[in-house]
Amino acid sequence: MAASCDSLLPLILLLCLSAQAVDRSNFKTCDQSAFCKHQRELKPGQSPYRALLDTLELSDSRLTLQLINDNNKVRLLLELYRLQGNMTRVKINELKPLKPRYEVPDVLISDPITEALSVVAQDENSLVLSLGGKDQRLIVSAQPFRLDIVEGPQVLMSLNSRGLLAFEHLRARKDTISHKISSTVGSMWDSLKSMFSSKSESEQVTGQENVEQQTDEDGQIKEEEDKPGMWEETFKSHTDSKPNGPSSISLDFSLPGVEHVYGIPEHADTLKLKNTDGSDPYRLYNLDVFQYELHNPMALYGAVPVLISHSTDRTMGIFWLNAAETWVDISSNTAGKTVFGKILDFVQVSNEVPQTDVRWISESGLIDVFIMLGPKPADVFTQYASLTGTQSFPPLSALAYHQCRWNYNDQEDVKTVDQGFDEHDIPYDFIWLDIEHADGKRYFTWDPSNFPQPKEMLQGLMDKRRKLVAIVDPHIRVDSGYKIHNEIRSKNFYVKNKDGGDYEGWCWPGNSGYPDFTNPEMRAWWASQFAYDQYEGSMENQYIWNDMNEPSVFNGPEVTMHKDALHGVWEHRDVHNLYGLYVQKATADGLILRSGGVQRPFVLTRAFFAGSQRYGAVWTGDNAAEWGHLKISIPMCLSLGLVGISFCGADVGGFFKHPSAELLVRWYQVGAYQPFFRAHAHIDTPRREPWLFGPENTALIREAIRQRYALLPYWYQLFYNTHRTGQPVMRPLWVEYPDDVATFSIEDEYLIGKDLLVHPVTDEGATGVTAYLPGKGEVWYDVHIFQKHDGDQSLYIPVTMSSIPVFQRGGSIICRKDRVRRSSSCMENDPYTLYVAPSSQGSAEGELYIDDFHTFSFEVAKQFVHRHLSFSANTLSSRNLAPDSQFSTASWIEKIVIFGGSQPSSVTLKNADGTESALEFEFGSTLAVLTLRKPGVNAAADWTVVLR
């Protein structure tokens, strides 16, 4: 939540001042959400759906067949696709819907590449399809309908094995049609045609045919009995008109042999997802939740409907492509209890095998699910990236330290804070402005009293090679004197209410309109507003922050938009979880556009969806200055990384309340080792710039930030790799140690890439922590003192207030820049130090990546340096990984530090031209650390160092 309480609206004042924690009564439970309650009342049992195998149609890449609900005779269309990369796509829609159902656009980066499907066996009740190779099969059981994916004798995943497929078909209200199909059909159909006059003639016929299918032998329409909330729903003072009636969907998935599932962010909860039997399901519905509770499945700001399962045998993923409100139930079972029919001819399942069952329930849309079959963690990340894209590659400065507050008061305040960092020798790259910087909270403007000369302010920062972020939220003040509002209204770009007028609600400016970001024309117009001649006072070192984009509507149901608001022909209920993604996309496009396509953007968003990784960073929202919130930031960011969003962080220090000096220091130490590193605070909190807690704490915070800056080359290389491959930057231990059951529930430590293990101190008054060092036969080195430890052990580490337990994996080489300056831009051409941590076999490898740190030239012109570093048999070398790239750098290798070796008699540097020279070195015998001084070679050159 951002901004001040200067509006006269009492509700806003209440929201700003009243909260010590979230008011749960503002947000629905499953029992208060009609579709969730109704769907959850359906218990596991025999499914009423039957596959009509005689309707099967098979092409090279697609199989279709019809399903029929034997209770109401409504038919569905099942589509099955085998996708490149060991994935399967399952779509289920009404065969002949009364009107089209929403299919999520713009999330998939392209139409997935399909591969050939073939039938390998068929009888009267089953169909067996090959998914590639000789062992992987998809079994379609007809009655009751069920899908099983098997590999050899092993069931990998089953769909509808618990009979929880439920598809509420679109239909007219009972009070608008006759209950007898007789001579009144004609007048009934005239009524339906007038209700949906925008449909094509063919769609109208489709609807009539669907009504006819819903009759029994006597012509009686067999519909589910109407229940409360199916045709109209009220929550507190808000009524949802539900003009299309009930339209929810549900499907269950069973995962034999699986006990650990992860993902479906965003929730302030454990990394491993919990069993929801007897409690609310996990909810995915983007909401502005004021100071959220911990360890709760309630919805938060973002929603990524991706669940990942992991066992020692296999890692898999389920991507439920639906943007409506969604609930996810997770329960434990025993595999084989519901195995039936022909599947027994293919597999044998022990009744003692554990099983996790997952049920997805969405309010509208259709079933469109991607099953990612791994088998390794890295394979699932690659598979998901092939569908929704990879993390955008941020400019280097965005990976440095950000200083934010709601709000820095004026230009002089910005200047004073900027000078404070120099006076206390603390580096930073970005200073941030919340909504008070704008003129009356009119975005794309500057307050004329407090920020009268924004270009002067920005130029002052640019002179120090620093940058600024200004907030631009998607609620627009309704004000006839405001250019942005007038243009949006004149272009008819606002979201509409159910009656067709512009939708309006209360947010920080007071009465506000909400641009329809689902409209590509609106997004293009929004992007154009970031041009320097449109956004007056902006400069190239100004970047953007999108807050409140769930969207937040203070006087709306659950503090968000009414579900029956309209985005063109679609209701808000269909698109809700997409809104924040579209806001961030339009903003990122605007920053790229303003630079003529040259500069990489940086945009932070609070609301997000699958695919948001393509447009920038996210943060964990309105946390509090409490130890629990510090702890929970780790599993929250790990969960996001598992579903593609690597650029994640939490407000350092906590947004609400005032941290103790100890908590603040520990939070800086955690933040320095998380991908997005920003301090932020509520307007009502005392100032907390890093130097305001006494010299001793200033020194501790300075050291944490300096550690971040020294490691920027490693962070940058990791983000380059995740941009190329989709592998998470911050990752749980089990990702790299998938066979080690001890890692499966660990969430108080994590890996950065595969080579740094971090176990930050997150307990008040801690005098020690116990870190698990994985990997039997591996070694780990303390990065601060270079002490070596064996893997596959829990290590007790005494700590003081200066301690940040971090270990480098044996077998790795990490590049750092140990000359820390006032900003990352000042360090671009500085020399590198290589830290070589040999494995137990004495070898190591790593990478060095360099480009211009801020443009797309690395991609469009192959202007970058990418080198492979290897150490083996006492020889360290640098080899070019991109011989066709063209880039030169002024950086050079200043120092090489090799852990855990023996003292050489001589060290020789061999250059690419064949010349040799002796290097100076020092050897510390206590911890066996060899330091080579000033090799002096260019960072882009080939070279070899030989120890004798």
584 to 105, 136, 687: CA distances (angstroms):
16, 40, 29
What is residue 751's three-state secondary structure? strand
**Band of pLDDT at residue 219, cut at 50, 70 and 90:** very low
Give the strands of the sheet with 603-605, arranged side by side.
648-649, 617-619, 603-605, 542-546, 467-471, 430-433, 401-403, 677-679, 651-652
- Distance, CA of 519 to CA of 582 (rounded, Å): 9
Q: Number of C-alpha atoms within 13 angstroms, CB side, residue 391?
A: 31
Work out the average pLDDT over 371-382: 98
Question: Of 696 and 134, which is predicted with more confidence?
Answer: 696
**pLDDT band at 138, cuts 50/70/90?**
very high
Does the annotation mark 622 as catalytic?
yes
Whether residues 55 and 128 share a domain: the answer is yes
The whole-angstrom separation of Cα 152 and Cα 141 is 18
- Contact at 8 Å (CB) between 299 and 27? yes
Could you report the per-residue pLDDT of 849-897, keeping only the tens digit for each?
999 999 999 999 999 999 999 999 999 999 999 999 999 999 999 999 9
CA angle 513, 608, 26 (to 5 degrees): 65
Which tokens belong to 54?
A: 């005689």
Q: Is the pLDDT of residue 612 over 60?
A: yes
Residues facing 128 on adjacent strands:
121, 139
What's the pLDDT at 7? 40
Question: pLDDT tens digits, residue range 269-305?
Answer: 999 999 999 999 999 999 999 889 999 999 999 999 9
Q: Is residue 225 scored above 90 in pLDDT? A: no
Is there a single domain that holds both residue 708 and residue 667?
yes
| DSSP 3-state of 783 | coil
Asked if pLDDT for residue 344 goes beyond 70, the answer is: no
Tokens of 918: 């002796």
**Is 368 among the residues known to form the active site?**
no
Which structure tokens are listed for 867?
A: 């080198």
Q: Do residues 705 and 679 lie in contact, with contact meaning Cβ atoms separated by under 8 Å?
A: no
Burial 293-322 (b: 16+ CB within 10 A, else e): ebebbbbbbbbbbbbbbbbeebbbbbbbbb
Same domain assignment for residues 451 and 559 = yes
What is the DSSP annotation of 52-108? EEEEEEE-SSEEEEEEEETTT--EEEEEEEEETTTEEEEEEEESS-SSPPP---SSS
pTM more than 0.85: yes
Asked if 625 and 529 sit in the same domain, the reply is yes
pLDDT at position 778 is 98
Alpha carbon distance 943, 525 (integer Å) = 51
Coil vs helix vs strand at 426: coil
Per-residue pLDDT averaged across 129-147, rounded? Answer: 93
Q: With 60 as the cut, is the pLDDT of residue 640 above it?
A: yes
| 601 token code pair | 């953007």
d(CA 364, CA 169): 10
Task: Taking residues 112-121, report their average pLDDT.
Answer: 95
Token duo for residue 280:
């609310």
How is residue 721 written in tokens?
């790799």
pLDDT, mean of residues 582-596 = 98
pLDDT in tens, 822-833: 999 999 999 999
**What CATH number corresponds to the domain at position 477?**
3.20.20.80
Q: Are residues 630 and 704 in the same domain?
A: yes
Taking phi over 0 as left and psi of -120 to 50 as alpha, with beta for the rest, 697 belongs to alpha
Q: What kind and span of H or E run contains 872?
A: strand 865-872
For residue 675, the SS3 value is coil
Of 497, 515, 485, 502, nearest to 579 by C-alpha is: 515
Looking at residue 20, what is its pLDDT?
Answer: 60
Which of 280, 357, 473, 547 does the annotation list as catalytic? Answer: 547
Q: What is the pLDDT of residue 173?
A: 86
Output phi, psi for 511, to 5 deg.
-65, 125
Same domain, 532 and 424: yes
pLDDT digits (tens, 9 = 90+) for 35-82: 999 999 999 999 999 999 999 999 988 999 999 999 999 999 999 999
What average pLDDT does range 419-441 have in this prediction?
98
Q: Could you tell me if residue 218 is inside a domain?
A: no
Find, among 684, 685, 689, the residue nearest to 668 by Cα: 689
The answer to whether residues 323 and 436 belong to one domain is no
Cα 265 from Cα 307, distance rounded (Å):
9
Helix, coil or strand: residue 122: strand
- Per-residue confidence (pLDDT) for residue 160, from 0 to 100: 98
Average confidence (pLDDT) over 574-602: 98
CA dihedral sign, ordered 494, 569, 93, 218: positive
Q: How far apart are CA 642 and CA 385, in angstroms?
A: 11
SS3 assignment, position 135: coil
CA nearest 822: which of 394, 413, 401?
A: 401
Number of domains in the chain: 3
Q: Give 619: exposed, middle or buried? Use CB within 10 Å, 0-12, 13-18, 19+.
A: buried
- Domain membership of residue 720 (yes or no) is no
422 and 337 in a common domain: no
Q: Are 673 and 755 in contact (CB under 8 A)?
A: no
CA distance 727 to 641: 8
Last residue within a domain, chosen from 363, 388, 413:
388
CATH number of the domain residue 936 falls in: 2.60.40.1180
End residue of a domain, out of 328, 357, 388: 388
d(CA 481, CA 487): 11
- CA–CA–CA angle 320, 324, 330 (5° rounding): 50
Count of Cβ atoms closer than 10 Å to residue 474 Cβ? 27
Q: At 376, list the tokens.
A: 């390794």
Question: What is the maximum alpha-carbon separation in the chain?
Answer: 104
Domain CATH for 69: 2.60.40.1760
DSSP structural state of residue 585:
H
Is 784 among the domain residues? no
- Reading the block at residue 84, the tokens are 């490149």
State CA 686 to chain mean position distance.
Answer: 32
Whether 396 shows a pLDDT value over 70: the answer reads: yes
Q: Does residue 300 sit within a domain?
A: yes
Q: How confident is the model at residue 4 (pLDDT cuts 50, 70, 90)?
A: very low
Domain's final residue, options 388, 419, 453 = 388
Q: Is the dihedral of CA 717, 268, 258, 328 positive or negative?
A: negative
Distance CA 675, CA 664 (A): 18
Going by C-beta distance under 8 Å and a sequence separation of 6 or more, which residues neighbour residue 831?
Answer: 817, 819, 891, 892, 893, 894, 895, 939
- Residue range of the domain that includes 308: 42-168+244-388
CA separation for the pair 390, 240 (Å, rounded):
37
Residue 687 DSSP symbol: P
One-letter amino acid at 494 equals: Y
Q: Answer yes or no: do 466 and 607 share one domain.
A: yes
Cα separation, 404 vs 547, in Å, equals 14
Q: Verify that 437 and 504 share a domain, yes or no.
A: yes
User: What's the CA gap between 728 and 720, in Å, rounded?
Assistant: 11
Task: Give, as one character, the DSSP assignment of residue 892.
Answer: B
Pick from 727, 748, 721: which is nearest to 641 by CA? 727
Measured distance CA(128)–CA(309) in Å, rounded: 24
Confidence of residue 350 (pLDDT cuts 50, 70, 90): low
844 beta partners: 871
Q: How far apart are CA 353 and CA 373, in angstroms?
A: 19
> Do 84 and 113 touch, CB atoms closer than 8 A?
yes
pLDDT of residue 141: 98
* Euclidean distance between CA atoms 772 and 750, whole angstroms: 10
- Cβ atoms < 10 Å from Cβ of 375: 15
Whether residue 751 is contained in a domain is answered as: no
C-alpha Rg value of the chain to the nearest Å: 29
CB neighbourhood size of 216 (10 A) = 10
Please indicate, yes or no, if residue 375 is contained in any of the structural domains: yes
H-run or E-run covering 185: helix 185-195
Query: Residue 781: its pLDDT value, please?
Result: 98
User: Is residue 670 within a helix (H) or strand (E), and if so which, with residue range?
Assistant: helix 661-671
Please tell me the predicted confidence (pLDDT) of residue 22: 84
Among 467, 394, 460, CA closest to 427: 467
Does the pLDDT at position 223 exceed 60?
A: no
Whether 773 maps to a domain, the answer reads no
In whole angstroms, give the CA distance from residue 892 to residue 646: 29
**pLDDT for residue 163 is more than 50:** yes
Q: How many CB atoms lie within 10 A of CB 502?
A: 16
Average pLDDT over residues 393-401: 98
**383 in a domain, yes or no?**
yes
Distances in whole angstroms, Cα of residue 565 to Cα of each of 239, 396, 485, 505 = 12, 40, 19, 11
Could you tell me which residues are beta bridge partners of residue 577?
none
Q: Are residues 519 and 456 in the same domain?
A: yes
Range with lowest mean pLDDT among 113-117, 130-134, 737-741, 813-817: 130-134
Query: Could you report the per-residue pLDDT of 509-567, keeping only the tens digit for each?
Result: 999 999 999 999 999 999 999 999 999 999 999 999 999 999 999 999 999 999 999 99
Catalytic residue selected from 473, 574, 622, 748: 622
Tokens for 734, please give them: 């089990």
Tokens of 874: 């006492």
Residues 625 and 672 reside in one and the same domain: yes
Q: How confident is the model at residue 15 (pLDDT cuts 50, 70, 90)?
A: very low
Q: What is the mean pLDDT of the chain?
A: 92
Percent of the chain scoring above 90 in pLDDT: 89
